[in-house]
Amino acid sequence: MARSWDQFLRGSATAEHAVQIYSDLDELANSVADYLAAGFEAGDPAVVVAVPEHWSRFEERLQLTGCDVHAIEEQGLLVVVDAQATLAEIMDGGDAPSSAVFERVIGGLLDQVAERFPGRQIRAFGEMVNLLAEAGSTHAAIRLEELWNAAAETRAFSLLCGYHLSLFDRAAQTGALPQICRQHSHVQPAADRARLAQAVDLALEEVLGYERAGRVYFMIGQESRDERVPLAQLVLMWVSKNMPTTADRILSSARARYFGELITAPKL
């Protein structure tokens, strides 16, 4: 059985590959800080591939957890590299990441850290994939995810990725998100899973009515129940793909309920 999101972030490190979909950088910063801090407390090293502006926010949150980031860097437990510069090197002037350059740059970095800390598992964070997705190169982002997964076959590290995407955008739910979900062992589609589940449930009932909403859940259960992905996110992907005439209304209602007040839907 898959571990929970909280267990992935704060539990003992295992070779897992998780993703957080975020609308606000603070959501991602909280997760990254918890993830890295748990590793430092256990004596595990970390490799961070981040945009400098984002790393500044992550560092602030790490300090709030009690981590002395400067001291940790002095010990060699933390290596931070620029996501934009590293991505440019890995893309090697093409429209897809080079597997050879990835192995040399990222694989080499992981190997150097592993050599300094034998027997420890590295906690990695990366957002090069988000840079590609934001540039409209979803295919390149997925290829980069595949290269990370290939690297994990021969190395001991866990990986957390972050994507700045709107859950309530139909294009994202039919385009990038299904592909992203398939590449990860854990998917955190929103900072508050319980609130998202309630918002989606109420939106379905509001737009479709109680019985039809129930049939949507039944159909998802029949087709596939991917335990890596929260049910609310599976619902949003399913209605976006299979209910084109009503998907936008469901997504709009779910968005309003998630970010606003969760009012009980009327019985239709």
pLDDT tens figures, 130-144: 999 999 999 999 999
What was the pLDDT predicted at 268? 44
Our CA dihedral for 208, 229, 173, 131, rounded to 10 degrees, sits at 160
Band the pLDDT of 60: cuts 50, 70, 90: very high
Our CA dihedral for 174, 264, 230, 136, rounded to 10 degrees, sits at 30
* pLDDT(264) > 70: no
What was the pLDDT predicted at 2? 62
* pLDDT(263) > 80: no
Q: Which of 124, 154, 118 is nearest to 46 (CA)?
A: 124
What was the pLDDT predicted at 261? 67
Band the pLDDT of 14: cuts 50, 70, 90: confident
Strands of 186-188's sheet in order across: 78-82, 46-50, 122-126, 157-164, 17-22, 186-188
* pLDDT(69) > 50: yes
What was the pLDDT predicted at 135? 96
Q: What is the DSSP string of 102-171?
A: HIIIIIHHHHHHHHHSTTPPEEEEE-HHHHHHHTT-HHHHHHHHHHHHHHHTSS-EEEEEEEE--TT-HH
- Residues 207-216 have pLDDT tens digits of 999 999 999 9
pTM (two decimals): 0.92
What's the chain's average pLDDT? 93
What was the pLDDT predicted at 236? 97
- Residues 150-166 have pLDDT tens digits of 999 999 999 999 999 99
DSSP code for 50 = E
What is the set of domains in the chain, with CATH numbers? 5-188 (3.40.50.300), 193-259 (no CATH)
* pLDDT(88) > 60: yes
Band the pLDDT of 187: cuts 50, 70, 90: very high
Residue found by looking up tokens 């909403």 in the block: 213
What was the pLDDT predicted at 227? 79
